[in-house]
Amino acid sequence: MAGASDRIYADASSERLLTGATVITFIRTIATLALSLWAAYDESLTLLVIGLVVYWVGDSLDGEWARWFDCETRIGGVIDMCCDRLSCGAFYVGLAWLQPAPFFFSDEPMELIAIPIAVYLFEFMVIDMYLSLAFLAWPIRSPNYFHVVDRRIYLWNWSRVGKAANSGLFAVLLLATGWWWLGLIIAVALLALKIMSLRWLLQLGIPVPERVPSA
């Protein structure tokens, strides 16, 4: 098992595309997309939610696998981010397309659900994607170790609590309550947090690699 410093900092010799973790990432993404398409075809909210659960469980599993078997790579981190957003987009576009009655407690249809979903997708797929890719400017394996760069940005975005609030809270409350306005409040709050995190990142400054003169 690698030491703490070895786990945090990237090693060019260990970078590769196919690891156990990336295989899990590809499998859970394909499964999520298949379930989302099946849900749209059958107009089934249940299938759509199953796809969301597959995405969440798979996203946790590939990360844990990478740490257990010491196969965290920067390539895998970027693939994970891209697949997260593809899976997330499939779920939320499917939810807006179906516009079903909420899954749990409310009997009111969610006609305006597309509004909070649009705000959330902009926050997650644009601003959060930029924030997440910023780790590549430092010699760390993934955003999970951004605390060695800036602890404040890390805590609000990639700590376990930060990840849960940023990815799970919106979906769970939207499905549980059916209150589009509550979803909009959460989406706007997350957008504000990401904009603030982006401001912190820009104040920190993103390193630019030195130019290597051509031979």
* pLDDT tens by residue, 103-117: 554 555 566 888 999
pLDDT digits (tens, 9 = 90+) for 52-103: 999 999 999 999 999 999 999 999 999 999 999 999 999 999 998 887 555 5
Q: Is the pLDDT of residue 50 over 80?
A: yes
What is the pLDDT at residue 101? 52
CB 154 within 8 A of CB 147: yes
What is the pLDDT at residue 166? 86
Rounded to 5 degrees, what are φ and ψ at 23? -60, -45
What is the pLDDT at residue 1? 44
Tokens of 84: 């997260």
Mean pLDDT of the 142-157 span: 96
Place of tokens 């979803």: 183
Tokens of 1: 């098992």
Q: How confident is the model at residue 180 (pLDDT cuts 50, 70, 90)?
A: confident
